[in-house]
Amino acid sequence: MTPEENKALSSTSQEKQSDKAKSTSSQTDNDAPQTGETSPRPSKGKLNLNSKVLQLIFSILGVAVVVLTVWGIGSLIINNLRSDLQSTQSPTQELASPQAFFTPVFETTSLDTGIYRMPDIQTTPSHIETRFEVTEYTVQEGDTIFGIADKFGLKPESVLWANRYTLGDTPDGLSPGFELFILPVDGVYHQWFEGDGLNGVASYYHVKPEDIVNWPGNNLDPETLGDYAMPNIEPGAMLVVPGGTRPTVSWIVSRENPAVGAAYLGPGACSGTLYGAVGTGTFTFPTDHHYLSGYDWNPPVHNGLDFDGNSGSPIYAADTGVVVYSGWSTRGYGNLIVVDHDRGWQTLYAHLIDGTLMPCGSNVVKGELIALMGSTGMSTGPHLHFEMRYEGSPVNPWNFLQ
């Protein structure tokens, strides 16, 4: 190697050593503090310790915040409950009555549109005076047979049965000023007819003869009464039958022999054998109005429905059939039509206007006009008393009308 090459190699080596020294000096300067601080830079272990301490502090603070929040909410709830309890325990303050308030006025203008009934606000008295004599009661405006019975502690049927010789078989005839017999107990008021026997009368009303004889109000002396079959009782005498019940009368005005109906309903039964249409087995409403203005179905007091309407409103046949009764009835029905629908079914239409009735033997179709609504017989205003009977016994029309 020439002296020049050795010189160049030496120069290169010196330069590398000089660069290394500068690099070391620069690193030392970076590690030294930038400011005038004298404390040394913390080590990595110390940093980890400080971080854990901070996390612990923040966790404790978080738990404290949650506890304080829950405590505050609970305090509010408890205070509200205490306030409510204190308010309920305080005495109720009396409210001042209003100076004026509106009360609806209920009134009826006339009886031309039906029968008007006032609410029965009378309740059964807690004590009914014991008596044995029959008293009289004058019907007041708005009275019903149910309200009257309640006033005297009786069943409604007892009031009806005590007055069947004047009211007939329906209470529709109750009107202001009407005089009613009021029995001292539930039972029947029987008018004695010549030929009556105590055994037969008692059996009919489902009581014993002694029940009639021993009732103080009847003034019967067992010593002078004689034979129960032919007792010494004056015809026309009215006797209380305590505990007696009057069976519902079953009648049939058949198309084969309609005249037999006259024995019960009156003289309007048709004569001869009648032939004609047979019913469909379904029944429609006999009036345009399907609501009541009087009594509902409530046997044995009321065996039909009192449909509302005006005088002259149309009355329709509830089903196809033959008219087997057309005329006046002595049972309180007034002008009456009975239609036989065959298969045991018959319908009754009462209180009709005179001169509007479909005549005897007429074949009628379901829904056909047969008469006009009136207020004849025992009635207090225009309405239709409608009954349905099967094999002679009344049934509830609501179960069949469509």
pLDDT digits (tens, 9 = 90+) for 302-329: 889 999 999 999 999 999 999 999 999 9
- Give the pLDDT mean for 268-297: 88
164 Cβ neighbours under 8 A, 6+ residues apart:
189, 246
- Give the pLDDT mean for 197-207: 94
pTM summary value: 0.52
Which CATH code, of 3.10.350.10, 3.40.190.10, 3.10.450.50, 1.20.140.10, is assigned to 135-242? 3.10.350.10
Whole-number average pLDDT of the chain: 78
CATH 1.10.10.10 is right for the domain spanning 258-399: no
CATH 3.10.350.10 domain position(s) in the chain: 135-242
- Point out the least confidently predicted range of 222-231, 241-250, 280-289: 241-250
Nearest CA among 254, 248, 251, 243 for reference residue 214: 243
Q: Radius of gyration (Cα) for the chain, nearest Å?
A: 52
Residue 156 three-state SS: helix
Q: Which amino acid is at 212?
A: I
Whole-angstrom distance between the N-terminal and C-terminal Cα of the chain? Answer: 139
Residue 78 above 50 pLDDT?
yes
Write the DSSP string, 19-81. Answer: HHHHHHHHHHHHHS-SSS--SPPPPHHHHHHHHHHHHHHHHHHHHHHHHHHHHHHHHHHHHHH
Give me the pLDDT at residue 171, please. Answer: 77
Q: Which amino acid is at 285?
A: F
Q: Which residue has the higher pLDDT, 144 or 95?
A: 144
Q: Kindly give the pairing relationship between strand 238-242 and strand 187-191.
A: antiparallel
CATH 2.70.70.10 domain position(s) in the chain: 258-399
Q: Confidence band (pLDDT; 50, 70, 90) for 41?
A: low
Beta-bridge partner residues of 190: 239
- Point out the least confidently predicted range of 89-98, 169-178, 392-401: 89-98
Residue 231 token pair: 């007792």
Q: Confidence band (pLDDT; 50, 70, 90) for 209?
A: very high
Residue 83 above 70 pLDDT?
no
Dist CA 240 CA 390 (whole Å) = 32
- Point out the least confidently predicted range of 32-36, 290-294, 379-383: 32-36
Dist CA 342 CA 281 (whole Å) = 9
Give me the pLDDT at residue 103, please. Answer: 36
Where is 221: in which H helix or E strand?
none
- Give the pLDDT mean for 281-285: 95
Q: Which residue has the higher pLDDT, 257 or 353?
A: 353
Q: How far is CA 161 from the centre of its chain?
A: 28
- Point out the least confidently predicted range of 64-73, 255-264, 317-326, 336-345: 255-264
φ, ψ of residue 150 in degrees (nearest 5): -65, -35
234 Cβ neighbours under 8 A, 6+ residues apart:
192
- Point out the least confidently predicted range of 56-60, 65-69, 119-123, 265-269: 119-123
pLDDT-above-90 percentage for the chain:
44
Give me the pLDDT at residue 234, please. Answer: 93
Give me the pLDDT at residue 393, please. Answer: 87
Dist CA 262 CA 324 (whole Å) = 11
Residue 46 three-state SS: helix
Residue 391 token pair: 């094999």
- Assess contact for 373 and 384: CB atoms under 8 A: yes
Nearest CA among 148, 233, 236, 246 for reference residue 188: 246
257 Cβ neighbours under 8 A, 6+ residues apart:
273
Residue 108 above 90 pLDDT?
no
**DSSP single-letter state for residue 20:** H
Q: Confidence band (pLDDT; 50, 70, 90) for 28?
A: very low
Over residues 336-387, the pLDDT tens digits come to: 999 999 988 999 999 999 999 999 999 999 999 999 999 998 888 999 999 9
Q: Confidence band (pLDDT; 50, 70, 90) for 170?
A: confident
Q: Confidence band (pLDDT; 50, 70, 90) for 168?
A: confident
Q: Which residue has the higher pLDDT, 299 or 388?
A: 388
Beta strands, E only, 3-87: none
- Give the pLDDT mean for 258-280: 77
φ, ψ of residue 346 in degrees (nearest 5): -140, 150
